[in-house]
């Protein structure tokens, strides 16, 4: 029986991915902070007839995460796939973020990925086998306003992953390292991300269901690639950043600030998960289901030629511009 371990496993992409691997017969290790949500997710995964074990840990704590990996190996067996998915963000202009807020986003989203990779390699390197998947974002290449810490962290993950991949290649390691760059997703992220605006926030359109991300991650686990870009908007944003970054800067100025805001105000009792988990059972989906797409195009970063990349970039940019315009 194969074993997968997922960080940030109790909501959104993490939970959808846990259920996808369980449906394929994997034993599943869950890592997150909230015990109640871990138990609820563990019960859902166990419904597929697979073994599942959950460990409550903050990915910022490198030693605790390494211990969690050892516990999961003891309970489930050797880890075949490790997925670094844990993240948090603060929705605000940089100048209104505190040092602690910026640091926390960086520590969870970036260093949590580094810590998870180290914990996975501790078990995979001696076996010379395994797949580590970093859940990335189009924002790893094309930053947007109001999410400077998160964009910086995702870009840092890409830099770290590229460096480590070359080290593994140099050693002729059997451990594969991949990154999956995602589009905007219909997860609960925007319900409990720290938001310093009076208005509710939303992902940059177009929006896709978390199951799209889960299917992409599962596919990479079966056939590892260097990078997978999911969604035409992701493809367009990444390639467009290489071809005409200045144009994208201007588009973000005109469209992406208001394009991340909804008309509704935040509820007065709103809580965020920046420093502490939001208690209770977490959900796979956010509240953007009516507009969320259930299918997405995807390409690997090394396949298309320049002509195809240019076409994809233009199509993606037109799509992003159209969707952002609708939000105004």
pLDDT one-digit tens code per residue, 81-135 = 999 999 999 999 999 999 999 999 999 999 999 999 999 999 999 999 999 999 9
- Beta strands of the chain (E only): which ranges? 3-7, 27-32, 52-56, 81-84, 90-91, 130-137, 175-182, 184-185, 194-195, 199-201, 207-208, 227-230, 261-265, 298-300
Across 178-188, average pLDDT: 97
Any catalytic annotation for residue 48?
no
- 272 and 194 in contact (C-beta within 8 Å)? yes
Question: What is the band of 1 on the pLDDT scale with cuts at 50, 70, 90?
Answer: confident
Whether pTM > 0.85 for this model: the answer is: yes
The pLDDT tens digits for 52-82 are 999 999 999 999 999 999 999 999 999 999 9
Q: What φ, ψ does residue 62 adopt, rounded to 5°?
A: -60, -45
Question: Which among 26, 141, 150, 218 is annotated as catalytic?
Answer: 150
């Amino acid at each position: 029986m194969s074993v997968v371990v997922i960080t940030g496993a109790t909501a959104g992409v993490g939970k959808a991915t846990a259920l996808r691997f369980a449906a394929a017969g994997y034993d599943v290790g869950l890592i997150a902070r909230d015990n109640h949500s871990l138990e609820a997710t563990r019960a859902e995964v166990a419904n597929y007839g697979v073994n599942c074990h959950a460990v409550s840990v903050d990915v910022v704590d490198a030693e605790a995460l390494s211990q969690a990996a050892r516990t999961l190996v003891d309970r489930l067996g050797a880890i075949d796939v490790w997925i670094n998915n844990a993240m948090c963000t603060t929705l605000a202009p940089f100048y209104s973020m505190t040092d602690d807020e910026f640091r926390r986003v960086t520590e969870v989203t970036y260093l949590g990925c580094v810590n998870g990779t180290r914990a996975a390699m501790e078990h995979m390197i001696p076996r010379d086998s395994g797949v580590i998947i970093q859940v990335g974002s189009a924002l790893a290449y094309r930053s947007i306003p109001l999410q400077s810490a998160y964009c910086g962290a995702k870009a840092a993950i890409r830099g770290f992953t590229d460096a480590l991949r070359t080290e593994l290649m140099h050693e002729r390691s059997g451990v594969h390292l991949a990154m999956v760059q995602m589009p905007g997703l219909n997860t609960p992220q925007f319900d409990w991300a720290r938001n310093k605006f009076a208005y509710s926030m939303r992902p940059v359109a177009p929006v896709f269901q978390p199951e799209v991300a889960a299917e992409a991650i599962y596919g990479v686990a079966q056939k590892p690639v260097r990078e997978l870009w999911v969604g035409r908007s992701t493809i367009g944003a990444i390639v467009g950043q290489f071809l005409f970054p200045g144009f994208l800067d201007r588009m973000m100025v005109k469209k992406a600030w208001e394009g991340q805001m909804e008309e509704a105000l935040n509820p007065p009792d709103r809580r965020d998960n920046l420093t502490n988990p939001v208690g209770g059972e977490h959900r796979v989906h956010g509240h953007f289901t009516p507009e969320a797409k259930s299918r997405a195009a995807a390409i690997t970063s090394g396949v298309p030629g320049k002509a195809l990349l240019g076409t994809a970039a233009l199509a993606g940019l037109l799509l992003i511009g159209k969707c952002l315009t609708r939000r105004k």
